[in-house]
């Protein structure tokens, strides 16, 4: 397991991974789908580059596919991902994703 400080702050691609967490978390809050091509457009990277980051975040337990065999594959934050979202992006003291817990 990669330490979260390395994954989200001190490695190449950390900013992109924070952006991916933000985008998926925001979609989860709005009860909207989030998927690879949408994220690639938002972060202005290729589908292949974003897939590498998403695969890493899935393997580290921060996000998961909702419909693994679907086209497109929809993504959501795991409980660990929701905690990370709150730690990085919350301006309030409450857990903003608490009501959407898995």
The conformation of residue 100, written as its DSSP 8-state character, comes to G
Domain ranges for the chain: 13-100
The token pair that represents 21 in the structure block: 């967490």
The token pair that represents 51 in the structure block: 């897939």
Token pair 């003291």 is found at 93
Distance CA 40, CA 99 (A): 27
pLDDT tier at 34 (50, 70, 90 boundaries)? very high
Sign, Cα dihedral of 63, 14, 50, 55: negative
The token pair that represents 1 in the structure block: 């397991």
The reported pLDDT for the residue numbered 90 is: 67
Query: Model's pTM, two decimal places?
Result: 0.82
Domain 13-100 matching CATH 3.30.499.10: the answer reads no
Model confidence pLDDT, tens digit, residues 43-94? 999 999 999 999 999 999 999 999 888 888 899 999 999 999 998 876 434 4
Name which of 22-26, 37-41, 48-52, 69-73 the model is least confident about: 69-73
């Amino acid at each position: 397991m990669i330490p979260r400080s390395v994954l989200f702050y001190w490695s190449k691609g950390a900013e992109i991974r924070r952006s991916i967490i933000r985008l998926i978390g925001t979609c989860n809050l709005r009860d909207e789908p989030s998927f690879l091509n949408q994220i690639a457009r938002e972060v202005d990277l290729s589908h292949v580059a974003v897939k590498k980051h998403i695969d890493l975040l899935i393997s580290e337990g921060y996000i998961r596919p909702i419909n693994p065999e679907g086209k497109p594959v929809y993504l959501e934050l795991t409980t660990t991902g929701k905690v990370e979202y709150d730690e990085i992006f919350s301006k309030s003291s409450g857990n903003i994703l608490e009501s959407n817990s898995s």
